[in-house]
Structures are given as structure tokens and as C-alpha cells.
Structure 1
Amino acid sequence: MKKVIGIDIGGTKILGGVIGSNGDLIKFKETSTDANLGRDHILKKLFGVLDDLFDTDIEGIGIGSAGRINFNTGEVIYATDNLPGWTGINLKEIISQKYRTKTIVENDVNAAIVGENWLGSAKSFKDILMITLGTGVGGAIILDGKLIRGSHFSSAEIGHTILYPGGKRCNCGQNGCVEQYISGTAIYKRYNEIAGSNLVNSAKDVFKLYMKNDKISKLVVDEFVKSLSLLIFNIRNFIDPEIIILGGGVTNSKDLWWEYLKSQIKCDLNISVAGLNNFSTVYGAAKLILNEGVV
């Protein structure tokens, strides 16, 4: 059995795992990204995870990173301030030289959809759309069993499509982006905006208040679900996938809003939560190494 490492680099945390070619999770390590401290610190945290997981029998490292990734070169073409200083870094070069092993770098959501197609909720499907709701919002598409990266490696940048023209300013420079309405960051910022004070620091805080029948959190979750259902409806009409997978940390609270979401999507649609939970990208990055990058 081959053993490889899969890594998920996000704005909030870095998660890594040693994955066997049979799909077993042998070992894993998680750490906070502390992205606000900049590129060198993010790299230091990444090295810490890899150092803990790497061994002589590891046959490759697959990395799924937030941002637009040139899959061929391993360079981060563009990343928002969720990962400050990340634009322009060549992760493939850095990691392959440091650990002297085969390395593949892919967009984190592209890796996640590969993981879900391998062992998760999309295992039996060929036409798949995935949306991840975390610090930001990401997307990925598999059509006829093939991962769609796009001619500029920018396919399915759902978080930076315009949901509400002229809406909230996004850190990408546009106004009204999806990410400003349905990400975990957007959820807690909206709560504080309505409250007129910085009362919460995460979407998790908002959902905890929701369970206590807090009025502001009820309003925020209602807005979140309506915006998410609008996005799903529009994308469904454009791509017509067999299944839509929702992933990312916000889905940990799905029991609070899942039925409401389904009631808002007024069309026949197969929609599911990621079966691998927060490990979708880890498994997918590992699968990319095992498959020599071919999906």
C-alpha cells in the first residue's frame, strides 16, 4: 500500500493527513493558519504540519490551497487577503525541494471535489458541483468525470461571482460578491453589523446564539439561507449537475438550517453535504498524488 500526504491550506486552519492508497486515514495533524501574520508565518505553520507527518515511506505530497493555482507549475496565481502575501508563491517548488518528494499543488476546492468523488458523497456521480462555505466561499466542477480547471485555472470561482450588484465591498475589489453574504466570515460580520457592536467572532458563535432563540442570529441565518438558495438555483440552471455538494466549516451547523434551505430551493435538485466533512481536501490532494494529477 502506498502512503502519501494530503494537505488543506485555508484561511483559518491547515489540516494534513497521511492517506493510504486504499483510502485509510493513517495519521492527521491540524494547526491554526494565523494568516494575518503573513506568508512566512503560514509557511512555518505548513512546515510544522508536514514535519509531523512526513516519513521515509511517504511517496508524495498533495496540497490543496485556497487561491487560484496554476496546477502545472504549482504557483499561487492569486489569493485574497484571507491568505496575505500568498499571491506569487510557488508551493510546488518550495515543498518538493524541502522534502525531496513528488509534490502536486491544486486549488483547495478542486482537491475537495476529487476527494468527495473518490470516497465521499459524490462517489457514484460524473457531473458534480461543489460549494465550500468557510472563511471564504469556493467552488469546483467535475463534468463527465473530469475536473474542470479552466484555461486560466480560474474555473468555478463562485465566491467572487456577483450575487447582489452594487452590494458589499469584497476584498477582491468587487462589490456584491457571493463571499460577502454566505461565508463564515460574512455570517458573523453581518451579526455585528446589525447589533452595532463586535459581539461575536465567528459563525460558530452566531449559530450558538441561534440555538438560544437570539433574534439577531435568526435574522442573519434567514438572510444566509436565502442568499445561498439563490446562488444554488442560479448555478444549477447553468451547469445542471447530477449532484451539488456543500462543504466547509459552515456546514457543521447544517442541522439548524438544512431543511429551511431545501424549502427555499424551488426546483428538483439532488443536494448533499460533503461526506468526508472537513477532510475532503486532504483526501482529494492525496488522490491527486496517487493518480499523478489525472482526474
Structure 2
Amino acid sequence: MLAIGIDIGGTKIVGGIVDEQGNMIRSVERATEAEKGKAYLLENLERLTEELLAETSADAIGIGSAGRIDVHEGTVYYATPNLPDWTGVRLKQHMVDRFGIPTAVDNDVNAAGIGEMWLGAGKRYSSVVCLTLGTGVAAAVFVNREIVRGHHWSAGEIGHMILYPKGKRCNCGQWGCMEQYCSGTALFKTYNEICGKHAVSSGKQFFALLQSGDGIARQVLDAFTDDLAIAMVSLCNIYDPEVFIIGGGLIETQSYWWDAMLEKIGRYANEAVRRPVVLPARFKNQAGLLGAAKLAFDELTKQ
């Protein structure tokens, strides 16, 4: 059997044809361009799917989408302004109506976690927190290899755990969320705040400054590793995982911050927590696509 796996993020949509062993047959990518609205994003999703189906057939479609997803209905329960007007979209029904193929939908970070648990760094573990650090911050939480979704499909939304009451305003409406301090976006925004000007506009530019020896960039990264370590110690006390798996766009830059993060976790953790096992995601940014394909295969078993 073959499945289409699709990962809808705030920046890009990635899709692929995947077989039951997790081999990628073909993949395509498009810019999300979410600012153009819901209708455009759905059309973009259809065009990507059509491109994948142009040369082969698929038995099912799996989609990982940003937002809090009602997996039973395949609808977007809630989405932040990163995807305008995405709240309430009946994504599963839309794709079934358009392509006539069984479809499953889940949150994009959950899909990435499922990919890592299926074939990646979490394959041998039972209780895992898969943490994604990228444009935003979120996690997929597994207990006894079962994903924890929560009553309102919001389990794992750790990016909106409040680190600093009355801190920076988050686009979710709260103040002081972890996402405003521990994401790739937070790095360059904090740098600009300290400089008092729009000096950098991407994580790539930020790390270029860091590599050049920029003192402000070093200061920002030090605060980032501090906040990340504190958050992870809190997550240890909440979930008590065997292992953390860290993925997302920032894992590509782990040589700059990984060791400092581990050292600070050891410094802040109590005797019960000690230093948890922390692993990089095996599939990095491809985990969401593979996890979405696994969702599709699992959907076929329900038919």
C-alpha cells in the first residue's frame, strides 16, 4: 500500500508518497502563504495532492496541520493567527470530497512525534516527549506508546506554557508563553528588541551573527538555553518521560546550543529528575510527513 503524507506548517507545505516501510517514493513542497487566507491554503493543499497523484495512486491520505485538531472529525478545533481563518476548517471532509480517498488528520507536531515513534529516535521507547522547536514550540506526548491529546485536543501545547507572567505578548492571547522565548522566531525577535532596530529577520541571519562572534547574539542564545532548560525540567516533573526527542527547524543548529542546554538541565533539575535522556530527532523536518503517512495507514485499518 501507498499513502500520501502531508505536513502543513506556517511556512511551507510538504507532501510525499510513502510505502508501508516508511520509504519515500516522491516528495513535493510548496510555500504555505497562509496570509492569503483559508480558501487559498485549501487550493494550495489540493494542488500539492494532485501533483503527488499525477504519477501514482495512493490508498489513503494523512495530514498533519498546525492548530489543535479534533482527530475524530478531522476538523481544526482551534488555530492561532499563524493560519488565518483556519479554526473550524473541516479538513478531512474537504479532502475526502475532493479526492475520494480515506483521510486522517492530526496536529502537525503530533504527526512528527508519530513519525519518530514509528521509525525514528522514539522507536525503542514507551514514554516520550517529542519537542518541536521551530517557528513556534509544541510537543507530542506519548505514554505507553499512546499519544496524549487532551479533552480539547490541546495536550502538548507546551509553547503556551507561561514562563514569565506579564512577559511578552503571544499571538495566542496570553503573556509570557514559552514560544516567545524558546523558538527560532524568538531568537531573532529578541535580538532586534535588544538592538532597538530591525537588524535580522530570520533564524538563519541570527546564527550567522552568532558565528561571527556577535556579543548580543551570544547573550540572546544564553537566555534561550536557560529558558529551554527550565521548561524541560518542568516537563520532566509533569510527564516523567524516558526520553525527550527534539526536532523542528532549530535542530539544524544544535551544535550552537545543545551542550549548554544539557548542562543547564542538570543544574536546575532536582534529584528525582536528575538529567533526562535527550535525543535529536532522527528525521528532523521530515518526521511530520512520515507521521502523517502513518496516520493514513492507520486510517485504512479502521475501514
Give the TM bin, normalised by the shorter chain: over 0.9
Partner of 2:292: 285
Q: Residue 69 of structure 2 corresponds to which residue in structure 1?
A: 69
Q: What TM-score do the two structures reach when normalised by structure 1?
A: 0.96
Q: CA deviation at 1:138?
A: 1.1
Deviates more, 1:148-157 or 1:223-232: 148-157
Give the equivalent residue in structure 2 for 1:93. Answer: 93
**Displacement, 1:85?**
1.1
Q: Root-mean-square deviation (CA), in Å?
A: 1.3
**In structure 2, C-alpha distance between the alignment counterparts of 1:256 and 1:292, rounded to whole Å:** 40
**Match of 2:210?**
210
Alpha-carbon spacing, 1:24–1:171, altered in 2? closer, same or farther (3 Å): same
CA contact (8 A) 1:162 1:177 kept: yes
Shift of 1:175: 0.5
Partner secondary structure for residue 155 of structure 2: coil
Aligned AA (2:59):
E
Alpha-carbon deviation of 1:44?
Answer: 2.5
Shift of 1:248: 0.7
Corresponding residue for 1:200? 200
Q: Determine whether 1:114 maps to 2:121.
A: no
Q: 2:105, 2:76 → 1: CA distance? A: 9
Distance 2:203 2:20 in 1: 35
Cα distance per residue 1:232-291 (max 9 Å; x no partner): 110011111011011111111111111111111113210011101101111111111112
Aligned residue for 1:250, secondary structure, equals helix
Say if 2:18 and 2:293, in contact at 8 Å, map to a contact too: yes
**How much does 1:166 deviate?**
1.2
Mean CA deviation greater in 32-41 or 113-122 = 32-41
For 1:22, the equivalent position in structure 2 comes to 21
What residue is the counterpart of 1:46 in the other structure? Answer: 45
Percent identity over the alignment is 44
1:178-207 alpha-carbon deviations (Å, 9 max, x no partner): 111111111111111111111111112101
Q: Unaligned stretches of 5+ in structure 1?
A: none
> Is residue 269 of structure 1 aligned with residue 281 of structure 2?
no
Please give the per-residue CA displacement for 1:132-161, whole angstroms capped at 9, x wherever unaligned: 111111111110111111122111110111
Q: 1:162–1:176: 8 Å Cα contact kept in structure 2?
A: yes
Asked if 2 retains the 8 angstrom alpha-carbon contact of 1:82 and 1:135, the reply is no
Gap regions ≥5 residues in structure 2: 267-273
Deviation at 1:88, TM superposition (A): 0.9
Count of aligned pairs: 293
SS in 2 for 1:114: helix
Matched residue type, 1:259: D
Tell me, in whole angstroms, the C-alpha distance in 1 between the residues paired with 2:24 and 2:157.
29
Q: Output aligned runs, 1:127-276, within 5 Å.
A: 127-266=127-266, 267-276=274-283
- The answer (yes or no) to whether the contact 1:18–1:25 under 8 Å persists in 2 is yes
Distance, in Å, in 1 between the alignment partners of 2:35 and 2:189 is 17
